[in-house]
Amino acid sequence: QLEILKARDKEYHAYVTIFEEEALSRAKEVQSLIDTGELGDSPLAGVPVAIKDNICTKGNLTTCSSKILNNFKPPYNAEVIERLNRAGAVIIGKVNMDEFAMGSTTETSYYGPTLNPWNTAHVPGGSSGGAAAAVAAEEAFYALGSDTGGSIRQPSAFCGVTGIKPTYGTVSRYGLIAYASSLDQIGPIARDVSDCAAILEVISGHDGKDSTSIHSDNIKYTTALVDDVKGMKIGIPKGYIGKGLDSEVRDGVLKAAKVLESKGAIVEEFDLDIVDYAIPAYYVIASAEASSNLSRYDGVKYGYRTKDFDGLQDVYKKTRSEGFGMEVKRRMMIGAFVLSSGYYDAYYNKALKVKARIKEGFDKAFERYDIILGPTAPTTATRIGESLSDPLKMYLGDIYTVSVNLAGLPAISLPCGVDRNRLPIGLQLIGRPFGEADIIRAAYSYE
Ligand code: GLN
């Protein structure tokens, strides 16, 4: 199987590192644990999984697809890795991403882009593009990604697979290399809703090592896998199906809404205008947090260090100039600017106010609806090279995903048909805080 994977990955480049020997010996070890019954009925026992390269794996490269961490082997495992290990998972490698999870196409990776398995002239989405492509190309049974502003959902949509961004605080962030800590969440990318529910059940739950992790150990997501949406109230924000949306994506999404309606759900359109301000607020907040989080990469403690330098200041300057790519530098500059005295109130504080209003807007909507339905992204997978030269255009592609992170909500992306080029269309279902069961039930009923 590893040989098939390696051959296939030459074409798509989903992996940054493949754990060859280690995966084989782990598989043998898990087999004996299965044989002795020690793993009970764990649904993940022996199942191969790929891990996004910003999730720490002890003793194995964890690069964030950046030059600055190209030699970094963490001395510890992320909490999600510990949980997968206890469930008998077999990790087969680390998958490609946009550098430090900043991007929507996986093209900002230091190791080069991942290609979309449906059509290799197109991007797989991002930033968890390697994870979604690995699942779509059957190079992994499932993967763990991270989502700060859409990075699980949008690549899932582009690659025709299913991904869940959990409610903030559901999955421990311990060992997830931070991009924007108040928005980051780890979640599953898999072939269908049932697999996602089973994986989420294993990785979620309180962890004392993450102060934002909540107590919810008893959430059994798999019990929500029922084909029944009778009486479920579903709202479609008019702005989510209006201008800027590709017409084939709109048709796919509205058709999916009709399916749910035919199964007894009550579907209606409503106004959620505040999300118009989500993109600027997201990019101000995410960049501000990134500029702070990424200040730790200085060439001293770990990671890449410049070769020639003249004193400490020079180490910092050269290491960071050489180690970070363009997009990461752009975000750190924006972040430092919006946090600087004199501009703090005008930008950062204002963005926080918008964030609070977005949360209120969703709270109000959830008084009337159990679920909010819309597209995951305004288009299907874009062509390689299209957005690298136009970052603003790339940012605008996040229009339907970033507000979910700003409001801390759970959301799932699942396939709802293909466009005329046979590229998959993504349907997004958003739930109330800790309403994972609702979105899983609706997604399962649709599927
Ligand atoms: N595309 C968004 C960004 O570039 C979201 C990325 C993410 O969720 N990590 O910030």
Tell me the pLDDT tens digit for each residue of 85-100.
Answer: 999 999 999 999 999 9
Q: Which amino acid is at 264?
A: G
Structure tokens at 272: 């959620």
* Kind of pairing between the strands at 185-190 and 266-270: unpaired
Could you give the dihedral angle defined by the CA atoms of residues 326, 59, 318 and 348, in that order, rounded to the nearest 10 degrees? Answer: 50
Q: Calculate how far, in angstroms, residue 42's C-alpha sits from the geometric centre of ligand 1.
A: 32
DSSP state, 275? G
Selection from 214, 205, 251 nearest residue 80 by Cα: 205
pTM of the model: 0.97
Instruction: Look up 127 and say whether it is catalytic.
Output: yes
Instruction: Give the model confidence (pLDDT) of 152-190 as tens digits.
Output: 999 999 999 999 999 999 999 999 999 999 999 999 999
ipTM of the assembly? 0.98
- Residue 56 confidence class, pLDDT cut points 50, 70, 90: very high
Instruction: Give the model confidence (pLDDT) of 7-31 as tens digits.
Output: 999 999 999 999 999 999 999 999 9
**What integer best gives the mean pLDDT of the chain?**
96
- Give the per-residue pLDDT at 165: 98
Instruction: Look up 52 and say whether it is catalytic.
Output: yes
What DSSP letter does each residue of 222-240 carry, written as one string?
GGG--S--TT-EEEEEGGG
| pLDDT beyond 90 at 64 | yes
- Residue 217 confidence class, pLDDT cut points 50, 70, 90: low
Torsion sign, CA atoms 246, 251, 253, 254? positive
- Give percent above pLDDT 70 in the chain: 100
- Give the per-residue pLDDT at 392: 85
- Give the per-residue pLDDT at 274: 82
Domain locations along the chain: 2-221
Q: Calculate how far, in angstroms, residue 239's C-alpha sits from the geometric centre of ligand 1.
A: 21
Interatomic CA distance for residues 241 and 285, integer angstroms = 26
Cβ contacts of residue 244 below 8 Å, gap of 6+? Answer: 378, 396, 399
- Residue 391 confidence class, pLDDT cut points 50, 70, 90: confident
Structure tokens at 332: 């750190």
- Give the per-residue pLDDT at 218: 58
Catalytic residue among 65, 66, 104, 127: 127
What DSSP letter does each residue of 155-184 carry, written as one string?
HHHHHT-EEEEPPTTSB--TTBPPSSTTT-
Mutating to test ligand 1, I would choose from 123, 146, 148 the residue with most ligand atoms within 8 A of its C-beta, which is 148
| Inter-CA distances, 15 with 117, 130, 193, 358, 413, Å | 13, 6, 24, 36, 22
Selection from 256, 255, 249 nearest residue 419 by Cα: 249
Nearest atom in ligand 1 to the alpha carbon of residue 397 is 1
Q: φ and ψ at 379, to 5 degrees?
A: -135, 175
| pLDDT beyond 90 at 445 | yes
Strands laid side by side in the 233-237 sheet? 15-18, 90-95, 48-52, 142-147, 185-190, 162-165, 411-418, 424-431, 371-375, 233-237, 266-270
CATH architecture of 2-221: Alpha-Beta Complex (3.90)
Helix or strand or coil: residue 247? helix
Helix or strand or coil: residue 24? helix
Instruction: Give the model confidence (pLDDT) of 288-333 as tens digits.
Output: 999 999 999 999 988 999 999 999 999 999 999 999 999 999 999 9
Q: φ and ψ at 423, to 5 degrees?
A: -100, 140
Contact between residue 84 and residue 317 where contact means Cβ atoms under 8 Å apart: no
Interatomic CA distance for residues 138 and 82, integer angstroms = 24
- Residue 276 confidence class, pLDDT cut points 50, 70, 90: confident
Nearest atom in ligand 1 to the alpha carbon of residue 103 is 4
| pLDDT beyond 80 at 202 | yes
Mean local confidence (pLDDT), 352-357: 97
- Give the per-residue pLDDT at 387: 82
- Give the per-residue pLDDT at 219: 78
* Kind of pairing between the strands at 162-165 and 185-190: antiparallel
Interatomic CA distance for residues 11 and 399, integer angstroms = 31
- Give the per-residue pLDDT at 54: 98
- Residue 216 confidence class, pLDDT cut points 50, 70, 90: confident
Mean local confidence (pLDDT), 423-427: 98
Task: Answer whether 404 contacts ligand 1 (Cβ < 6 A).
Answer: no
Mean local confidence (pLDDT), 57-75: 97
